[in-house]
Homo-oligomer: A and B are copies of this chain.
């Protein structure tokens, strides 16, 4: 029997959970934002489940929310990802560690250096999630009143990527003979100053750190726009995608893999991992009921605000205990959001309140069911070329994460579509990605 195609699994984490109501779940670790032992415990459990990577979400600001939304939010403050992932590198042995690095609000030299250092400390487990940071609240924390426009952000991101990867190539792998007899620690012929002078950046180099263990840390991206897809096809090795259903997933997968081939790259070297919110129950009904209970913990103000934004109209004027009316006016604001919200309400026959809770909690792709039905769904995405795996989001912590590792992972392993043990030591090993050649040295 031929080896089966393998799922790749990242864990997309915020310390308390992605779901806005999760901290109110009975037994949830409400203090995890600043409780290091809890984060250590979660990472070790994911490593026990052979996850490819621990992916730390991030923002560069306290987001501009209403006072009421702010009051209910557990995502406002937490560990900075780099310090957290470096600490996790010290207590884990195999799991990949992916952090966000902004191309708008940080210097390429700092970003290159820190990811290289994380890669050395973790012995080859770092990944860089390149984000262009569209958030205007972040701009205000860095002395900028106006945020860059979309096109300029992407041109800047592309140049930033070239500078960072160029800095990673500052030293050949054999640059350090460390020969005590002759006194030669470093061979200057195997070191190169980048001397970059581009549209946005002037950076001399060399980087003051040896080439990363993986050559380059794994390159991750999330952009879904035209410019985002193209940048990913040219540079990314993992895409954090956000399709809402299987058909959208297949269409995105086809498009990006084709762009990757057109860019002269092997499409196998770009892994597409949609975010997936997973709720595990003993029966499908029990799982759905769990999710409804969780969604009901989303504060009403937040939930209705989310629904109103998606519909482009004040949802407060509808009967909360009836389905959405048929005659919701079209607006210019948010056509796709409006359509998605209406379709979701119809498909699952939700009342306005239920729909608001759902969207206020987590509105994207989800698998809600038994370990078997969840594995069925993931297998279908894998087999029908809708994804190479998933960035799993857990409904509440630690219980939702433990459920996945203890119940879903063994089912995926039983089917032969997920590893039972790590085959290699680096994140590139886990993902089946090649080590990039050094542009300056063979």
CB within 8 Å of B: which residues of A? Answer: 23-24, 28, 30-31, 33-34, 36, 40, 59-62, 67, 70-74, 76-80, 82-84, 86-91, 105-107, 109-110, 113-114, 116-118, 120-121, 123, 137, 140-143, 145, 171, 176, 178, 180, 183-188, 191, 201-210, 297, 299
Contact = CB atoms under 8 A, between A and B. Distances in A.
A84 B208 contact: no
List 5 tightest A-B contacts by C-beta distance, closest first. A86-B86, A80-B117, A90-B90, A140-B204, A87-B90
Contacts of A28: 180
Given A71-B187, A141-B203, A186-B73, A106 B110 contact: yes
18 contacts: A31-B178, A33-B210, A36-B123, A61-B208, A67-B188, A76-B186, A76-B208, A77-B209, A80-B117, A86-B86, A87-B121, A91-B91, A105-B107, A105-B110, A109-B142, A140-B204, A141-B205, A143-B202
A77 B209 CA distance: 4
Contacts of A141: 109, 203-205
A185 B187 CA distance: 55
Contact of A209 (B74, B78, B116, B297): B78
Copies of this protein in the assembly total 2
A123 B34 CA distance: 9
A36 B120 contact: yes
A188 B69 CA distance: 10
A187 B77 CA distance: 13
A72 B61 CA distance: 44
B121 A79 contact: yes
Contacts of A121: 36, 79, 83-84, 87
